[in-house]
Structure 1
Amino acid sequence: MKSISPNIFVNDLQATITFYAKLGFTVTDEVTAPEGEKVFALMTNGSVTFMFQIFASIEGKHPMVSRADGGSLLLYITVDNIRQYYDYIKEHVTVLTDLEKTFYGAIEFSLCDNNNYMLTFAEHD
């Protein structure tokens, strides 16, 4: 195995793109349906890649993909210079937990994205 890129289903793709741009991600690829609606975006920040796809694009095709926004998925993202990133990001999004040193040695903070997914950013010693 070489990498993992979660494909995260969302209701509002443009709102998701706007939110993740605040975190420093950029759109590197997009897919537009034949009807003209943007249905998929690939966003990257360094070596982290997320795929976002609207629920409507798979309606009736994959019935197991059915849920309200958010859920039990937590995206754990390792970063360098976490204090600098935290100082920048706290001005642009709502932080759930401030910077803290964990019992396992990481420095972390968490936030909730516009889809109710929890993101935890961490730097390990």
Structure 2
Amino acid sequence: MLSLSPNIFTNDINGTVAFYQQLGFTTTMSVPEEGEDLVWAMMTNGAVNIMFQSFESLGESLPDISRGNGGSLLFYIKVNQVVEFFGEIKDKVTVLQGLEKTFYGATEFSIKDNNGYVLTFAEHED
């Protein structure tokens, strides 16, 4: 295995792209390549790639994928300078859990994205 790039389904792909831009992600690919009626986009921040796809574009394929926002999963993203990053975004997002030091040596915080997915950002001590 070489990498993992989650493909998150959403009812509001343009809103999702705008939300993740607030977190420092940039769009690296999209369908269509230009315009406001996106059906798919890949966004990148450092070594983290996340894809977003509209529920509508699924059509009848992959019927086992839930057609509702959110999910019973959490995206755990390692970052550098977590305290500074938290300060940059905390007033722009829904914070579920503020900065805390964990028993396993990480400083982390959790937010909810515009689709109801939980993102935890963590910096580990060396």
TM-score range, shorter chain: over 0.9
CA separation in 2, counterparts of 1:72 and 1:122? 19
Q: Report what 1:64 is aligned to.
A: 64
Q: What is the identity percentage for the equivalent residue pairs of Structure 1 and Structure 2? A: 55
- The ranges of structure 1 where at least 4 consecutive aligned residues each deviate by more than 4 angstroms after the TM superposition are none
SS at match of 1:61: coil
Q: Report what 1:111 is aligned to.
A: 111
Q: How many residues align?
A: 123
CA separation in 1, counterparts of 2:67 and 2:31? 23
**Residues 18-97 of structure 1 mapped to structure 2, 5 A cutoff:** 18-32=18-32, 37-97=37-97
Q: Which amino acid aligns with 1:121?
A: F
TM-score by length of 1: 0.93
TM-score by length of 2: 0.93
CA-based RMSD: 1.5
Q: Please, which moves more after superposition, 78-87 or 63-72?
A: 63-72
CA separation in 2, counterparts of 1:48 and 1:111? 17
Task: String of CA shifts for 1:22-61, please: whole Å, max 9, x gaps.
Answer: 000010100129xx94200000001100000001101211
